[in-house]
Amino acid sequence: MASFEIDTIVQSLSEIRKEWRASQKRSREPGGREFPSRDALAEVMDALKGALFPMRLGPTDLRHESEDFYVGHTLDTALHTLLAQARLEIRYQHRHQAITETEVEQRAVETITGLANSLPHIRSMLDSDVLAAYRGDPAAQTVDEVLLCYPGVLAMIYHRIAHELYTRDLPLLARIAAEMAHSQTGIDIHPGATIGPSFFIDHGTGVVIGETAVIGERVRIYQAVTLGAKSFPTDNEGSLQKGLPRHPIVEDDVVIYAGATILGRVTLGKGCVIGGNVWLTEDVPAGCVVTQARSQDTPRTNCTSSSGI
């Protein structure tokens, strides 16, 4: 029978944790957990999905006459759980600064109250996304099929909630939520990305949308599209400068086909079409059609850009 040196391993792991905490200037927290919980946030996100779409993503035995009761009870539980996670993140953010528990509580309550009040707007935005998917895909038979089956819609449910957390200065919770969607759908949307209504990701696997990307209304993209950064500026010490605008701006009514890669703070003008597998690092005028082989003029504009730029 195998015999493991458990005590020695435990002691070694303890020493490594101490070294890590010392290097990060992080003292041991005697009061318990100091980070938000992925498991707790997963429960919150599942509950919020059900509250937003109770008869489609809620419990299987839910009846219409109980819909409002279910939504109210689910929201009350989910928001209080989220409030506890917000407290943890706020304490974590200020771990090197003096902050009172009163200040933590006030900020946490204000933040989660703001998120709660934004849920009707989030639902309206998601309705526009579902309709965009239904109208944009000839294979879609019903809007219910879109909501229940399309990975792009699931990714947007997560993103629109995560974006609210991000803009309300809870970036760690936002990023955890975004990575849950990434693991489930293969669609990687940073919670900082700003995305307008009626957004449709068709198929979706391999889509990457960076933190500072700005996407307008009625935009449609396909699998393996990247809206990424071309370069990463550094400071005088060689460290990456964070938070700078470095991802594309996509204006209204743009279509980006599978495999296209658009890098840097470039602008894709209103109504332009980017063909499959195109590599772009410069602006594209409104109404332009860009393909691998060439750029084509359209009736709406004179297009002088080309693929491979």
- What are the tens digits of pLDDT across the range 41-90? 999 999 999 999 999 999 999 999 999 999 999 999 999 999 999 999 99
Give the pLDDT score at 31. Answer: 58
Instruction: Yes or no: say if 225 and 276 are a contact pair by the CB < 8 Å rule.
Output: no
pLDDT the model gives residue 228: 97
Asked if the model's pLDDT at residue 111 lies above 80, the reply is yes
In whole angstroms, give the CA distance from residue 4 to residue 21. Answer: 27
Q: Where are the alpha helices (DSSP H) in the chain?
A: 6-23, 38-52, 54-57, 67-93, 101-136, 143-149, 151-167, 171-185
Q: What is the pLDDT of residues 220-268, one digit of tens each?
A: 999 999 999 987 777 777 777 777 899 999 999 999 999 999 999 999 9
Please tell me which residue, 216 or 30, carries the higher pLDDT value: 216
Cα–Cα distance list, 118 to 115, 160, 178 (Å): 5, 10, 18
pLDDT on residue 293: 64
Per-state percent for the chain, helix, strand, coil, to nearest 5: 45, 15, 40
Mean pLDDT of 6-26: 86
Give the bridge partners for 228, in sequence order.
263
Contacts of 229 (CB under 8 A, 6+ apart): 210, 246, 247, 263, 264
Of 71, 63, 171, 62, the closest CA to residue 120 belongs to 71
Residue type, 125: M
pLDDT confidence of 32, banded at 50, 70, 90? low
Distance, in Å, from the CA atom of 169 to the CA atom of 167, rounded to the nearest integer, reads: 5
Residue 292: pLDDT band by 50, 70, 90 thresholds?
A: confident
Residue 212 predicted with pLDDT over 60: yes
Residue 298 has pLDDT above 80, yes or no: no
One-letter amino acid at 30 equals P
Among the ranges 9-18, 27-36, 178-187, which has the highest mean pLDDT value? 178-187
Q: Residue 34 pLDDT more than 80?
A: no
For residue 6, which amino acid is it? I
Q: Using one digit for the tens of pLDDT, what is the confidence trace for 161-177?
A: 999 999 999 999 999 99
**pLDDT for 182 beyond 70:** yes
* Residue 138, φ and ψ in degrees, nearest 5: -65, -15
What is the distance between the alpha carbons of residues 210 and 28, in angstroms, rounded to a whole number? 34
| pLDDT interval class at 97 (50, 70, 90) | confident
Cα distance between residue 68 and residue 59, in whole Å: 13
The terminus-to-terminus CA distance of the chain in angstroms comes to: 65
pLDDT of 204 strictly over 80: yes
